Amino acid sequence: MHAFSDFDLFNPGEEYQMLRKTVRDFVAREVEPQAQEYDSKEEFNIGLLRKLGGLGLTGLTVPAQYGGAGMDATAVVIVHEELASSDPGFCLAYLAHTILCANNIAVNANPGQCKKYLPALCSADAIGAMAISEPGSGTDVLGMSCIAEKKSDHYIVNGRKMWITNGTIDDGKTPCDTLVLYALTKGSPDKKRVSTFIIEAGFEGFSVGQKITGKTGMRASNTAELCFDNCKVPLENLVDEEGESLTHMMRNLELERVALAAMSLGIARRSLEIMIKYADERKAFGRKIAEFGQIQRYIGQSYAEYRAARSYVYNTAREMKLDSAGQRLDSDGVKLFAARAGKTIADRAIQVLGGYGYVREYVVERLWRDAKLLEIGGGTIEAHQKNITRDLLKQTDKIINF
C-alpha cells in the first residue's frame, strides 16, 4: 500500500508543479493563438517546437549529459496533457520528436550515438521521427518488408514506411533530420529479424514519397510516406545488435502509449471546460441549459470519466521505468480507456453546444477530430484489448491480489 496523505499524484513535488505551470503558460501564450491556423493549413509549426526546445522540453527524458532534462514518465504525462488541451496535432508532432525519436535513442543507443544525435534533438535544431508502419502492415509490426542488407562496411536499406509523423518537415520534399528506423535483417539460417537504425536526412537513397494531406484530424502534424531506395547506412548506425528491435520497441512504445493517453486527458479536460461554460451561459425555454437533466448527464458522466482516466494515467506513469520493458499491461490499459474517454467527452461537448459545437469557433470540433486518431495510432484499441487479455492470462494474480 502507498501512503497518499501528503502525496499529489498529479504534481508529485515542486519540480512537477513548476513544469506544469511553465507548459500551461507557454500554451496560453504561444500554442493557443496558432492552433486553428495550423490546423487549417495542415502544417507543422517547427518554430513553435524550437521554442519548446529553448525551454528544455524537447529532450524531456534525455539525460542531462546529452542536453536533456532527465525527467520521468510523470513529466511526460504533464507536458502532453497540457499541450493537447490546446493543440493535439502539434502535441503529436512533439511526441514523435521527443518520445519516439529522442527518448528512443537515449534509452537504446550507445554513448557514441547518443553524443552524436541527442544534443541537436534536445535543442530541436534537428527534427526527429520514428518509422515502423508500412503501406501493407500497420499493427502487424512483424509483417514489415523493409529490409536492411549488410555489406562490408554499411547496410543497404530498401522499402517504404507509411503514416510517419514528422516524416517530412516541410511541404513534402524534405525528410526529418533524424529518423529511428525499424527494418528486417537476415537471421540464421533464413530467419528474418527486426533491427534498429538511425537514419540521417542526407543519406543517399532516403527520401519523402509523399506528404499525406486531407486527414480528418491531427492536421497540425505532418504525416508522410518515407522511401528507401538502396539507402546506404553506415554500420555504426545500427542500434545495439541485429534482431534487438522488439526490446527497443517495447521500452519506447510503452512510454508512447502513456503519452498518447495523456493527450486524451488534455482533449477531455478542454472539452469538459468548454461544455460547462457553455451550459452555464446558454439559455433555452427561459432556463440555463445546465438545468436540464440530459445536459447534466453529459457533464456529470464526462467529469467522472475524465477523473478516472486521469488517475489511471498518472498512477501508471508513476510506476513506469523508462529503461525497461514489461509494463505493457497498464500502458495498453490507460491508452485503451483514456482514448475512448477523450473522444466520447469531445463528442458530448459538441452535442451540448449543438450547432456551435460543429463549427471551428468553439474548438471542440477540432478536438473531436483529433481525438479519433488516439484510438488508432500507437496501437489500435483492438490491439490493446488483445494485449491486455494475453497479459492477464499470464498474470491472473494481477487482478486477484490487487
Active centre residues (catalytic): 256
Q: Tell me how far CA of residue 188 lies from CA of 25, 149, 185, 193, 329, in angstroms.
A: 54, 14, 10, 9, 32
Contact status, residue 58 vs residue 123, Cβ threshold 8 Å: yes
Peptide bond before residue 12 is cis, with ω within 30 degrees of 0: no
List the grid coordinates of 207. Answer: 527520401
Tell me the three cell numbers of residue 238. Answer: 545500427
Answer for the pair 346, 271: CB distance below 8 angstroms, yes or no.
Answer: yes
Task: Check residue 376 and report its DSSP letter.
Answer: T
Q: Return the DSSP state at 286.
A: T
Joined together, the cell numbers standing for residue 70 give 532527465
Neighbouring residues of 313: CB distance < 8 A, sequence distance ≥ 6? 77, 258, 261, 262, 265, 334, 338
Written in H, E and C, the secondary structure of 339-360 is HHHHHHHHHHHHHHHHHHHHCH
Assess contact for 210 and 224: CB atoms under 8 A.
Answer: yes
Label the pairing between strands 128-131 and 178-186. parallel
Please answer whether residues 159 and 228 qualify as being in contact, where contact means their C-beta atoms are separated by less than 8 angstroms: yes
Cα gap 256→222, rounded to integer Å: 18
- How do strand 128-131 and strand 287-288 relate by DSSP bridges? unpaired
Give how far Cα 398 sits from Cα of 102, 330, 395, 401, Å.
32, 11, 5, 6
Q: Rounded CA gap, 236 and 259, in Å?
A: 30
Q: H or E element: which one contains 274?
A: helix 245-281
Burial degree of 17 (CB within 10 A; 0-12, 13-18, 19+): middle
Pairing of strands 223-234, 287-288: unpaired
Q: Are 345 and 302 in contact (CB under 8 A)?
A: yes
